[in-house]
Amino acid sequence: MAGTGTAHLRDASEALLRVEDLVVEFRSGRKQKVHAVTEVNLDVLPGETLGLVGESGCGKSTTGKAIMQLPPPTSGRVVFDGTDLTQLSGNDLRQVRTQVQMIFQDPISSLNPRRKVEEIIAEGLDIWKVGTKEERAAKVDEMLLTVGMDPEVAKGRRPFQFSGGQCQRISIARAVITEPKLIVCDEPVSALDVSVQAQILNLLEDMKAQYGLTMIFIAHDLAVVKNISDRVAVMYLGRLCEVGDPDVLYAQPAHPYTAALLSAIPVPDPTVRPDTRQTLGGEIPSPLAPPSGCRFRTRCPRADQVCKDQVPEMTEVAPHQYVACHHPIAPGESVASVELAGARA
């Protein structure tokens, strides 16, 4: 991917969140710059779940945090509900942030070990002095029940007394209690066992339905992302590769990177021999000096001179499928790495 362009964006008036030309760079040492996120355009419609996938270091978490302005991006616009968050500061920003909440990857790190569960969950209400003390306590009980925990047992305890999955439930309760419009889930199930992962994914779907949430779901597991998302955006080394409906995108990936990611997923079926699948070689290059043109070209079997010279633009290759690639995989085309994904779909 490594692409740019806005073909995949929908009408700005419909979107709850619209991210335009988002750039995040960090200084590293004296002269070097980490190009964490480069010219990313995204939008999320109300009630939609956008899945953001890629390997570690692709900038997906940085994008999520930049939307929250934690820290604010280097440049670009983050328009939420008609307000450009990058233009806000101080109290205005604090106020808006309650509308956008986050759920983190590490269930242990994201809860303050010194505070009781009831204090952790009530934090958002306490800060803004919502209602009376009694009303807040009642709301905490209600939230705990909603996320499947017994308030009488849970609220007086501290996070270390809970398992990873239970901590994640507490995090979800904390994020939802202020009734935000958008929740950014940053790898919320990556640290959990598969059995617990399913519980949390189901819970997120339930919460979304009950509270009318819009979600950005960041993960590196494509199967998880497909399960929960209405739209998926694949990122590589700070840029977007491919955006589309998961059913379409997974059935017929157009970007060679998406195809490679799909083929790397372990399949719980011993009749699928892993060695028949082509795994992606090499590793993600350093974001200090990303390759010119298409950033995926150094690992791409289809790369040529054009990929080196020009950054590919996002184009629509099929209805609801947008790809930033000079040589996208055509529908029906047989590529070693896509065979399996295609066959199973």
Partner 1 sequence: MTATTPKARGIEEVPLIVEQIDPELERRKRLPIGAWLAGGWMVLIMGAALLAPVLPLNDPNAEVASIPKLAPGQEGLIFGADGNGRDMFARLIFGARVSLTIAFTAVILALIIGGLLGLLAGYYRNWIGNVLASLFDIMLAIPALVLALALVAVLKGNPAENEGGLSGQVILIIAICIVSIPALARITRANTMAWSKREFVTAAKAQGATSGRILFREILPNVLPAMAYITLLGIAIAIVAEGGLALLGAGVDPPTATWGNMIDAGRQDMDEAPFIMFIPIGAMFITVMALNYLGDVVRTHFDVRESAL
Partner 2 sequence: MTDPSPPPEPTAPSAAEAAPAPPVSPGEVLLEVTDLRTTFSSPRGPVRAVRGVSLTLRRGRTLGVVGESGSGKSVLSRSIMGLVPSNATRTGSVRFAGTEILNADAKVMRSYWGDQMAMVFQDPMTALNPVLRVEQQITESLHEHIDLTKKQARDTAMQLLESVGIPEPARRLRMYPHELSGGMRQRIMIAIALACGPRLLFADEPTTALDVTVQAQILDLLQTMQQDRQMAMILVTHDLGVVAGRAHDIAVMYAGRIVEQAPAASLFAHMRHPYTEALLRSIPKLEMSKHTRLDAIGGRPPDLVNIPEGCAFAPRCPHAQDRCLTEDPQLVPDPADPDHLYACHFPVHGVLAAATPVTVGAASGADAGASS
Phi and psi angles of residue 61, each rounded to the nearest 5 degrees, phi first: -70, -40
Q: Which does 316 bind (CB under 5 to 8 A by kind): partner 2, partner 1, none?
A: none
165 binds partner 2 (CB under 8 A): yes
Residues in the chain, overall count: 345
Taking CB under 8 A as the rule, does residue 210 contact partner 1?
Answer: yes
Select the residue interacting with partner 2 from 273, 319, 332, 334 (CB under 8 A). Answer: 273
Contact between 157 and partner 1 per CB under 8 A: yes
Task: Determine the Cα–Cα distance for residues 39 and 23; give it in Å rounded to an integer.
Answer: 5
Minimum gap (Å) between residue 130 Cβ and partner 1: 11
- List phi, psi (to 5°) of 23: -130, 130
DSSP class of residue 274 equals G
Is residue 49 exposed (0-12), middle (13-18) or buried (19+ Cβ within 10 Å)?
buried
Cβ neighbours, 10 Å, residue 42: 24
Q: What does the block give as tokens for 307?
A: 């990929």
- Binding flag, residue 157, partner 2 (CB under 8 A): no
Q: CA-to-CA distance for 6 and 39, rounded, in angstroms?
A: 10
Binding segment toward partner 1, per CB under 8 A, in 33-41, 161-169, 244-252, 280-288: 161-169
Separation CA 329–CA 333 (nearest Å): 6
Contact residues: partner 1, CB under 8 A: 65, 68, 70, 94-95, 97-98, 100-102, 104-106, 108-115, 120, 123-124, 127-128, 142, 145-150, 153-154, 157-164, 166, 169, 171, 174-175, 178, 199, 206, 209-210
Contact residues: partner 2, CB under 8 A: 55-56, 163-166, 193-199, 201-202, 205-206, 208-210, 220-224, 226-230, 245-247, 250, 260-275, 277, 279-281, 283-284, 341, 344-345
